[in-house]
Amino acid sequence: MGAKVKTIERRGSTLTERIYLIEIFKGMARTLRHLVRNLRDNKKLLVRHYPEVQPEIPARWRGRHRLTKHDDGTVKCVACFMCQTNCPAECISITAKERLDDKAEKMPASFNINLLECIYCGYCVEACPLDAIRMDTGIFSVTDNNRQSFIIGLEELLTTPGAYSEEDYKKGGA
């Protein structure tokens, strides 16, 4: 199957086009129509009034991370370090400790993600064998005044809720 070739017609060689001015006036008429339309009714501007009107974030969108929990509220993560190993930005740092509630052998003692280094690639989510880390919080704006507060720890990762229902998230192909 050969590649589809589309021949684009070369423009700009007829006399009227070579005089420039006529085409320029046509272009100016077009932009003026936009201006007049927008001046008459500025609801037609193609803008979202951002901080007040928030964008709709789809479930597949990679936002800030969170760690998921079992139904009984205990942490799912088994501190296997898969995400840390896979992270291209090397911004995850985990320390493991022994787990005593028989769910697994290990659990994270600390789990830090440096959001300033994170490139939001989602590889950590893909690497996790237990679906313990997700990026489905829908948080897209991460701002603060000092660097320290961008390193989020276990506590914050566990308490941040997901923004979507389980079905919606699964529909995204996760």
The residues that touch ligand SF4, with contacts defined as CB under 6 A, are 77-83, 87-89, 91-92, 94, 113, 118-124, 127-128, 130, 132-133
CA gap 134, 132 in Å, rounded: 7
Helices (H), the chain: 15-18, 21-40, 82-86, 123-127, 154-159, 166-171
Q: Is 44 in the site for another protein (CB under 8 A)?
A: yes
Instruction: Give the three-state DSSP class for 147.
Output: helix
Q: Is 43 in the site for another protein (CB under 8 A)?
A: yes
Q: How far is the CB of 87 from ligand SF4 (least distance, A)?
A: 3
Residue 118: C-alpha distances to residues 20, 89, 144 (Å): 50, 6, 15
Q: How far is the CB of 24 from another protein (least distance, A)?
A: 6
Instruction: Give the three-state DSSP class for 92.
Output: strand
Residue of the chain from 12, 49, 129, 147 that contacts another protein (CB under 8 A): 49
Out of ligand SF4, another protein, none, what residue 157 binds, judged by CB under 5 to 8 A for its kind, is none
Residues that bind another protein (CB under 8 A): 21, 24, 27-28, 30-32, 34-35, 38-39, 41-47, 49, 52-53
